[in-house]
Amino acid sequence: MKSLSAILSLALAFGGFCLSASAQQKPADNANLDSVLKKMDAVAADFHTLQADFEWDTYEKVIDEIDDYQTGTISYRRSGKNIEMMAAVKMEGGSLDKLKPVPKYVLLSEGKIRVYQPKADQVTEYDLGKNRSDFETYLVLGFGGSGQELLKAFDVSYIGPETINGVATAKLQLDPKSEKVRNTYKQIFLWIDLDRGISVQQQFIGPQGDYRLAKYSSIRMKEKIGDDVFKLKTTGKTQTISPRG
């Protein structure tokens, strides 16, 4: 599953970082960046739940086209240091006009990632183990993660204002400090909603020019999310496998 593997490989490659910001910013850009990061800090301090619709596009440079679209809904819930996430992929296809119902569910809960494919009636389970906190750091990238957390992991640059689907945003460029992370993604761009302090769009660019573009809409925050949202609707015959390595 491309959308999951991209995020998972990035998170598991996460290394140790020191605190710094980009040294090439102009004074005005630094002021704008500081304002955006402080907004994210304030939102992170009071972040509990978020739900949104998503569209994930994957671009393959070797064929010079987007070869995979996925749409669905995503839900986050945080209680203390515990984070839960459910991504429900509803439609998938090689282009927007060829989307077909292909339900898949990706659940993060209790330090494990579980991917459920109803058609195969199979759950693939990954135990994050010692990588749990690192994965969760990337999981909340732009969704309840603080600006200071960004500075620990990236050189952060303010690119400028940009309107995304009618929403005023600040575009940030994240350059990973870790060589391991750069081997997966050389750059990450976040479009931060200036009013709500969360990302409405993200782009992850690989070393060879491939990228994954994630767009979020109908974002709902601070609404109660039922426990059933964070449970896989498996059957009595569902097979669970746990890949190693």
Q: What is the pLDDT of residues 33-42, one digit of tens each?
A: 999 999 999 9
Residues 73-86: pLDDT tens digits?
999 998 777 889 99
- Is the confidence at residue 7, as pLDDT, over 70? no
Q: Write down the pTM of the prediction.
A: 0.81
Domain boundaries, the chain: 20-219
Q: Find the helix packing angle between 132-139 and 2-12, rounded to 10°.
A: 120
**Backbone dihedral region for residue 204 (phi beyond 0: left; psi -120 to 50: alpha; all else: beta):** beta
- Is the confidence at residue 4, as pLDDT, over 60? no
Cβ atoms of residues 172 and 36 within 8 Å: yes
Q: Rounded CA gap, 242 and 245, in Å?
A: 10
Record: fold of 20-219: outer membrane lipoprotein receptor (LolB), chain A (2.50.20)
